[in-house]
Amino acid sequence: MTMMQASGRRPSRISAGTIGIYAFLLIAAVFFLLPAWIMLMTSLKPMEEIRLGNILMWPNAVTFEPWIRAWSEACTGLDCRGVSVGFWNSVRILIPSLILSIAAGAVTGYALSFWRVRGANVMFGLLLLGAFIPYQVFLYPLVRIFAVTGIYNSFACIVLVHVIFGLPIMTLLFRNYYASLPVELFKAARVDGGGFWSIFIRIILPMSTPILIVATILQVTGIWNDFLFGLTFAGRDNLPMTVQLNNIVSSRQGESQYNTEMAATILTAMIPLAVYFISGRWFVRGIASGAVKG
Amino acid sequence: MDSQITNAGRPRFRNLAAVIALIPATAAVVVVYIGCMLWTVRLSFTSSKLLPIFDWVGLSQYSRLFLNERFSVAVENIVIFGVLFIAGCLILGFLLAVFIDQKVRGEAVFRTIFLYPYAMSFVVTGLAWQWFLNPTHGVQKLGRDLGFENFTFNWLVTQDMVIYTIVIAAIWQGSGLVMCILLAGLRGVDESLWKAARVDGIPAWRYYLFIVLPLLGPMIVTAVVLLSISVVKLYDLVVAMTKGGPGIASDVPAKFVMDHFFERNNVGLATAAATMMLIAVASILAPWLYQTYIRPAGRVA
């Protein structure tokens, strides 16, 4: 949309208005980039330079040592194995949670859009409501249930929690997408005698690529960035990267290794940032349809 | 619902497969979303400490809650945070969207820069900002290095100001989302409106404020609801940035609940606070949900 050109004349020289627009955008860009820039610079400096030097400046002597320390030596209390432990825990949590939550959302969304089941819309309404309720309302009873069933503080537990709390948004996403598919396709498949699962696998699933991409983006960033569930349900040995990172920073003793901490922070942000930069417009589409998650 | 075929002549077993497919979701709704919620509400009327007890003490946990100084600090903080965060995100997000919509060069670059914080977790955001605002090394030192000897910016460690640092960090993280939502709205505004406004000699700022802004109403409502939900859920950012401190100065309800569940072993008080959070969300949500989802025949946009 060309708001400025709509006036019909071409500006012969750069007007004050144009300068103002770019000035505002550049100042805003500085505001948004500054924390990331400072983190990066800090992570590349030795501690003496951090103590003495300017926080904005490019390091006099670039060092990657903080990055290596952050990855393999940073301490949580007495455990000095670096954020790599949390990284691999997060990967192990992410993969099954991702697959199961998308599968659950896709099947539920499919059943809701194409099949008539008594009470299904009521169930869907309640599920949607669940997406908005603060997690603190569910946490304690869930902990009790998991403790009684014996899976509390395990990978299974944290994966199950991610699937349960991913269900509203995943279902909403797939249900809306399937509602936009032509229903004639489905009817034709029914005439040919297709059953519930065969229609889903042979016809619906092959048409779901765009929404599968959106769902994957949402869930990878959402699950990776989770802190509350990992803290509550994963157990000490399976803590995800975000929780471990926070433990490293808050359990520091003596003088902080700020450069190591910042390197660890950047490492923790790496996966969602990679998803963001690679997926581009898909990410925007994801948050437009799934922003309820925040 | 055009997407649903009628019931007539459908063999029973196919229907059964659909019913079976909906069992996991139904179980989640019944057990977790309804069951655990009612359980929490019920526990708020008990004297539970470390473990749940099912006695009945009426509203005494609630009266204890309202007399609790830490909880009133938490509520006050979340109100300050909520108002400033939502207003800040809306204003900044709207300005960014309008300025980006002026057919600027490098639009995609600007958009990418404004939205990337949204991809990062609250923990990362909190740690980044606590480093930047750290008085010994961060922005205060920077100001003094630049020659302003008495430059002071120690909000992060000042009880009265610490909540505002969390507001700043949260606006940094969230205003890209508002920009995104409003930019989509701006692209849908009819271009002839701008031409008409030009003919009438209406300046650009009045055009945006009085003509475009009202047109973006539904998107602003959506943005406000989304931001409100994240206000009530505010937890990770506070933990990473200030741990609720200095003292209890930056405590928020979600953190109050978590600490009373898992550290202070006061389940009764924690569930009472959680129930208050539930009531707060329900009162924000009910009108919007009715408007958006229930009135237009269950179809979601």
Q: How far apart are CA A176 and CA A161, in angstroms?
A: 24
pLDDT at A192 over 60: yes
- Residue A180's φ and ψ, nearest 5 degrees, are -90, -10
Which member of B5, B7, B32 has the closest CB to residue A164?
Answer: B32
The answer to whether the CB of A125 falls within 8 A of the CB of B293 is yes
Total residue length of chain A: 294
3-state DSSP assignment of residue A79 = strand
B301 by Cβ neighbours in 10 Å (0-12 / 13-18 / 19+) ranks as: exposed
Q: Encode pLDDT of B60-98 as tens digits.
A: 889 999 999 999 999 999 999 999 999 999 999 999 999
Q: What is the pTM of this model?
A: 0.88
pLDDT of amino acid A289? 66
CATH of B60-300, one of 3.40.50.300, 3.30.420.40, 1.10.3720.10, 3.90.1150.10: 1.10.3720.10
Q: Which of A238, A108, A94 is nearest to A159 (CA)?
A: A94
In chain B, residues with a C-beta closer than 8 Å to the C-beta of A130 are 28-29, 32-33
Which chain B residue is nearest to residue A139, measuring alpha carbons?
B36
Per CB-CB distance under 8 Å, the chain B contacts of A189 are none
Mean pLDDT of chain A: 87
Of A145-149, A180-184, B297-301, minimum mean pLDDT range: B297-301
For the record, the structure tokens of B106 come out as 């490098």
**Closest of B268, B243, B283 to residue B39, by C-alpha:** B268
For CA atoms B34, B36, B39, B44, give the dihedral sign.
negative
Query: How confident is the model at residue B176, as a pLDDT?
Result: 92
**Cβ distance of B115 and A276 shorter than 8 Å:** yes
> Mapping DSSP to helix (H, G, I), strand (E, B) and coil, where does residue B85 land?
helix
What ipTM describes this predicted complex? 0.87
B240 and A294 within 8 Å at the Cβ level: the answer is no
Using a CB-CB cut-off of 8 Å, the residues of chain A touching B5 are 114, 116, 183, 186-187, 190
Q: Is A100 on the interface with B (CB under 8 A)?
A: no
Q: Do B24 and A108 touch (CB under 8 A)?
A: yes
C-alpha to C-alpha distance for A67 and A263, rounded to whole angstroms: 5
Which of A5, A54, A167 is nearest residue B28 as measured by Cβ atoms?
A167
Structure tokens given for A98: 């991702």
Distance CA A117, CA B14 (A): 11
Tell the burial category of A252 from Cβ atoms under 10 Å away from its Cβ (0-12, 13-18, 19+). middle
Given a cut of 80, whether residue A14 has pLDDT beyond it is: no
Quote the minimal CA–CA distance from B265 to chain A in Å.
11
Enumerate the domain spans of chain A.
11-63, 84-291
Q: In 3-state terms, what secondary structure has residue A1?
A: coil
Q: Do B5 and A249 touch (CB under 8 A)?
A: no
Give the CATH H-level superfamily of domain A84-291. MetI-like (1.10.3720.10)
Min distance B275 CA to chain A CA atoms (Å): 7
Domain spans of chain B, in order of start = 1-43, 60-300
Report the alpha-carbon distance of residue A73 to residue A69 in Å, rounded: 5
pLDDT tier, B11 (very low <50, low <70, confident <90, very high otherwise) = very low
Q: Does A19 touch chain B (CB under 8 A)?
A: no
Helix or strand holding residue A286 (H, E): helix A281-290
pLDDT reported for residue A208: 92
Residue that has been written with the tokens 């092959």 in this structure = A206
A170 close to A101: Cβ distance less than 8 angstroms:
yes
A-B contacts (CB, under 8 Å): 301
Tell which A residues from 135 to 174 touch B, by Cβ distance under 8 Å. 135-142, 144-145, 164, 167, 171-172
Residue B216 has pLDDT above 70, yes or no: yes
